[in-house]
Amino acid sequence: MSDTFVPASWLADRLDDPGVRVVDVRDAWEYDGIGHVPGAVSIPFDEFRSSAGDTGMLPGADRWGDLLSNAGVAPGDEIVAYDDEHGVFAARFLVTAELYGHEPERLHVLDGDYSSWSREHETAREAADVEPTEYEPGEPAESPLVDFDGVRERLGGDAAVVDTRDPEEYAAGHLPGAVNLDWLELVDPDTRGLKPRGELQGTLRERGITPDREVLLYCNTARRISHTYLVLRHLGYEDVLFYEGSLTEWEARDGEVVTE
């Protein structure tokens, strides 16, 4: 298993490492008013989320480069991101980093979100003092992105098409042949982090989402699939596709939707 999801103790041991950059993706008022991990930089979710980017909902390479440069992130840094929503917004940040060329092995979610840190470790109120860098976005070695046509070609085939929205949304309309896996089914509501490895594997196996299959993920706007994508990578899945446009694009382009 890779360390895509890391506990607060892992981060505490590395907090003073100059090669580790901690990113808080909560709202700015939370970063300032509630407190944050010492040394963390603030990049609120709305700042890296755009419908006018260069690929679907990505923010655009120039915007992304500016954000990470101003946050003092270097291309070789280990990035640990966190939020207060079970890691789903942090996951979106990290998938964005991967899609702009940051090495996946250097991208980590704080398992259990901010609460896992604030329960047992010191927090800070003052903003981090960072030295800006010149972060140049690139291309991933292997992109997981799949477009509208790529999704349509896979429907009815061998790929496991996975809808990560809640059951009510799924029942109201989903891609033909898709199985429903609400992303929150993989999260422990008490710890706010991932469920044990065995439980995760069992849940996935019950839905036919196994490591030997190509897995294609979608939701509405690519936020929830970001979390599931990282969970699957954490468990060693190697063939996972990420439909960035998700149901928003699918319906806008008159893709078929079923309710049975």
Name the residues annotated as catalytic.
219
What tokens were used for 246? Answer: 């998700």
- Residue 175 near residue 151, CB atoms below 8 Å: yes
β-strand 20-24 against 78-82: which pairing, if any? parallel
3-state DSSP assignment of residue 160: strand
Report the sign of the C-alpha dihedral through residues 84, 89, 69, 104, in that order.
Answer: positive
Q: How far apart are CA 209 and CA 153, in angstroms?
A: 19
Contacts (Cβ under 8 Å, ≥6 apart) of 58: 50, 64, 96, 99, 100, 244
Structure tokens at 201: 């594997």
Token couple for 35: 């407190």
